[in-house]
Structure 1
Amino acid sequence: MPRSPRGAPATTDRSRQSLRRGYVLAVVVLIGSLLMVWLYAREAGERERSARQAEFAAGSSEIAMLLRQRLLHYELALRGGVSLYWSVSRPTERQWRDYVGGLDIERQFRGLLGLGYVPYLRRSDLEALQLAMRDEGKGLFQIRPHGVREIYGPILLLEPQTLANRSALGYDMFSEAARHRAMAAARDTGEIRLSAPVRLIQQGDGDDRGGLLMYAPVYANGIQPGNMLARRTAMSGWVYAPFQTQAFIDSALQPFRAGQFVRITDIGDGAGAGTLVHEDRGFTDATSADLLRHSETFDLYGRRWRIDFQSSPALPETATRGPSGLQATIGAGLIASLLLFAVVLALAHTQSRAERLAEAMSESYRRSEQRFRNAMLYSGSGIALLDRGGRIVEANPALARILGVSPGALPGTPFAAQFVDPGGEDGFADEEGDGTRPVTRQLRRSDGDLRLVQLVHSPVPGDVGSDVAELAQVDDVTDRLRAEREVRMLNRTLEARVEQRTRELTMANHELESFAYSVSHDLRAPLRTVEGFSRLLGERFAAAIGEDGRDYLTRVRNAANRMDALIDALLKMSRITREPLQHADVDLGRLAADVVAELRQGDPARKVEVAIDPDLHAAGDPALLRNLLQNLLGNAWKFTAGRDDARIDFGRDPGEGDDAPGMAGFFVRDNGAGFDPAYASKLFRPFQRLHGNDEYEGHGIGLATVKRIVERHGGTIRAEGAVGEGATFRFMLPRQEEGANPG
């Protein structure tokens, strides 16, 4: 073809355009290849991060399960101690030491400082315990901290008897807020409860490690009542276990953790930031894309824990190899001849990594399957996997032992055919409920023996293509049900005996009251005869008997009059126990004001400051409550006679009635003569007086009458005071009904 000189520029332009298009195409290919590599690298990185996060979460969940299993070991030790207290009413120190020694705490329960017993004591119970221990030659059982409280929970037994554990004996854990809440929760629910983080008594002053305590309630006669009020009444004490948080977590998790930091927070009821239970060194709240995090929250023995997991900085470094490979791929993409090689290399690298992840997941599934197989093989309960037709697909050796057959004879047989009553109790679990449905059934063993078993059905997902649809758990409860039946029969016998003894005691009380009433009436006639003839002898023969004789007659008449007054007081106290209660809503403030007005009218020369709180109401018998206030305020009026700044206070006591629902607390306080606290128990006994007639007149019946009135209303009364510092009487009465008008 001839070449035109004019076509040379056009050819050059086309060449340039072609070159330009080649450049553009090269740039487009480069940009496209880099974009494809970048998109693929980002997606692969996201998948890898998700897989690592899932693997990290699975490992974290397994660690959390290990913690719960370790606490379950502690629970089993506590329940063993409770069983010991159920088997004997009060184990000796030797029995408790042998039980705790058999647990091998140092090797089997690392972190556990010991196992102890805490009795649930009222003040009278504490005095009885102290007297019993003193009689046994153990000396005086001291309570720390000191003070008078309604309920005590001192550490009575704590094994092993290390030096630190001995120093904890006698400490009243019920007086400390965190321990009190856990002990009260265990008492009221009947379940094992865990305390908030506390400082253990065994720790020295320089030891700042935290600790936790587990409490298991122990009830009288080994029977747990059905409601909270009955549980409080039947409460006997607690078996408890103190353990150091750091040692507990290290012993449970150190062999399993791999580059994971743990922080445990006790969030209590879920409100607020919570209390730190444990935090590994290196745990940080700083945000970083290289750190993996996972959190779980679950309830443990009445507490709610949040466990935060964080990977160590060294763990995510392996993930940085993805971005480095991506940079190499992008660099290789700049050279067109190495573009496919770089893509294939990246795909191969990603494929290898995906295979490693798939292999790890397969190994995790295999281990999970092995754990399930071991659980079936070594379980003490009979377990069977059923298909949708109710036939046994697989059964464990425990089920074969319960049925009395060989394990190989069970697969393929109908599960319902093993029971004597194959009615409508078999089948699938109720999925609308909690996934389980326990029932008690009767089965016949291969040897013809009839056994009672507890059967639990629950749905389980089977493998793809398998017919497994349900898991059945069978527990032989024949011996337990027989024992429970014997216990119920024994309880009925005991209740009949108690009812018979109550009737006999009631009849004896009525006879004693009638006897006292009759004797009091019969004594009056001779007393009046003595007083009358003494008076006539003094009037008619005064000159003949002389001054000494008249003095003797005066003493005889005074003694007869005092005896007559004592008989009147006895009759009044007897009427209090005989007459039926008239229930009404009473304005105690108005009654107290009337009583004080009568006292002022009877002794107008006295100047006494009396303070009565407003809105004092209670439910009870108006006449008896007036008698109560007359005695208490009259006592205060009498024993403040020697003070120029005499003061009497009557008001509501917010500290009383907290542990007695439906009751309200009150107090009467004075700044009079007071009394020796060592003789406080004598105040409420008839004719027991702490002052002579030459100091303060009286018969010794008033406070005994007050005690009977309070007890007839279902309340209690106690006295506090010191010599020369006045006295305070605290008592409880039923609360006023809501919306009622006080009488």
Structure 2
Amino acid sequence: MALQEPAPRSSVRLLWTVPILVWLTLVICLAMTGLAWYSVKTSSEQAAADVFRRLSQEIGENIVQRMLAYEQVLRGGVALFEASDTVTRADWRHYVGKLQIEENFPGIQGIGFAKVIRPHELARHIAEIRAEGFPDYTLRPPGERELYTSIVYLEPFNRRNRAAFGYDMFSEPTRNATMSLARDSGQTAVSGKVILKQEITRDVQNGFLMYLPLYRKGVALETVEQRRAALLGYVYSPFRVNNFMQGTLGEKQTDLDLRLYDGSEALPDRLIYQSKTRAEARPEFVPRFQGRQSLGLPGHAWLLEIRSTSLYEANIDSAKHHIVAAAGLIISLLLTAFVWSLVTRRQRAQALADAMTTTVREREAFIQAIVDHAADGIVVIDQAGRILSFNHAAEAIFGHAAAEVIGQNVKMLMPEPDSSRHDGYIARYLRTGEKTILGARREVAGLRKNGEIFPLDLAVSEVYQTGGRVFAGMMRDITERKQAEEALRASEERFDLAIRGANDGLWDWNLKNNTVYYSPRWKEMLGYADYEVSPSLEEWSSRVHPDDLEPVMAAVRAHLDGKTSLYMSEHRIRHKDGHYLWILDRGIAQRGEQGRPQRMVGIHTDISERKRMEKMKNEFVSTVSHELRTPLTAIRGSLGLIAGGMTGELPQQAKELIDMAAANTERLLALINDLLDMDKIQSGALQFDLKAQEIMPLVEQAVANNRSYAEQYGVTYLLEAGLPGVMARVDAARFIQVMANLLSNAAKFSRPGGSVEVAVKAEDDSLRVSVTDHGVGISESFRDRIFEKFSQGDSSDTRHKGGTGLGLSISKSLIEKMGGQIGFDSQLGQGSTFYFTLPVVRPGSAE
């Protein structure tokens, strides 16, 4: 210890012996680094401020230029009126359509025309608009005023813009002031902040409007009085501010906080637009850059306020001065360290030698720790086969402690005959260099301390050392893996026997490499030998009947996308000799950790015989139905004549029997008609006369036709909601047939004294017709089969109520043929609602 104590004092003396030039160089380098850092920092901040100022000016100019462009659009609309004797609704729609405003003028809500109406012209105006096909049109809001301005044209005439149809903008103060300014000046005028009538959803935005007056042609417009007298209306455009700013600026506003005020002052109640919501803006953040500018608009002014955000400032190149500082500091320190290293070279050399020795020892200890705690057994032997190292995993595998085997021949860990041959393996390798087990992984047998022989997975490598060569063996006990493989083989054998017993074909689709395994039975079902079918998906898809391929692939995609729990389809597939077999194809996908399908396994079942029997049954039903219809029609006519008194007055008992026979004849004819309709639907022979027509008259006719039927059960039909004027493309007779089926079912299964509600409502671009009863509801077990042929929920109750089990199946087919969908909702004990939807046909569109 006494010899080591002077070392710190000599280090201190060496520190003071360093030449003053070293310290002077360090001070000068640091001073130059500071000056360079300040200069770069100042220039970077000035450049960032200039960029923000130019960007702010560009945003303001974009807004003003976009407003001028919209003004030119309005002037085009005025020019259309001035160049035409009459501008019809169709003319206006054509004009606006040619502008393609969604592409060329993003942000504009629409282009419209508001007509000026004097009080004595009001009644005639309303009648004219209603005659154009708008029976519910009226001027809003109601009330007497000196002058009206009704929105009569507004394109595109979508759902949002239809909410403003017929609105008198002159009735609202802000719009009135702007329209009066435009009228008196003859120039374009922009309104203050308003809420548009088009705000009919939850996403309510601030808005504004731009007006350009339209005057009668050929009159003087020099004075305010002359312009007021000659005013015909306004060409205008409504704007939703958020949409306007997005369409005007696009991505320029994403990392800036833009605030737009109505007027020239930044007052909270004048705020018309803010690009960053309160949730997005951090109250504690103080922007480095901000600015205001007044935007001169036609007849109005806006104040634009722009602030930088944390995202904007994060993208500013602010790293240069830091890089300069860091580089200067590093250079200064390196130069000083270099000089210092010259003085302390000897001490450093000794320290380096000590560090290397420590590192080698630590590395040896680290490697030994890895070997000792490795999951695999590691055994190291010398050229004579003696064990040099035996880690913990090897102890667990063989049951020997390391102390028991170190120095022993490794063959003690091997059963016969490997134990006797091992020394010969090593000697032959050392003599000839011929490798038997080196460098390769193989399965061998091991011998535990208790005498148990077990399978090992072994890999041996050769390591050269100063004292000679050693051999390291890495091994793993694979007893459990072998048992699992044997269990898997047995399971596969049982599965193969089950598939063979079921006489089904098996397929296994590997989605990763798009290969398919087809079992021998799969190939045999189609008449092929095993070698004649390659493992590709085309071997299957090319044989599927062309008419079936698209729906089958749709079912496969639906299952792979997770929309169905099981893939199942019935389709035809071509046999080797050319004829088609009917196949029931079922499969299920195996998915990975993220739910992505990895493979899909399924079976093919030949159902050709079942399909043949179904066809025979359908042909029999069709033949019998046709053969029974003619005599039953004659019987119904004869019974009607007898009941009508053609053969004279009947006794009461005979009359009751005749009525009973007539009723049962009608039920039998209804069954035959349903069977014939089903036969036509299946064969594609059912004809449809599809026309665009109003739905409400058809619904009302169906309710009226079935009212007497409901009275038999003591039930009342109530038409609760309707959509006058709404049209759909339907076959009127088939539509009424569907309604009659739903209404009769609802009446049959309602309680006496109850009611059945019928409603027609809008649903996006479709209409929804619903029939609701308050009966017993539909059981869970029957819901999946309710639209199948001959399906009945409770056969005893159905016989009591009457019915064939075909009505809903026919109704579903008819609705789908007319482009709609049918469904139901039900609560057991509370009733059911059956509904169907049909696409709406807009007025004036082609059938």
TM-score w.r.t. the length of structure 2 is 0.34
Q: Which has the higher relative contact order, 1 or 2, with Cα contacts under 8 A spaced 6 or more apart? A: 1
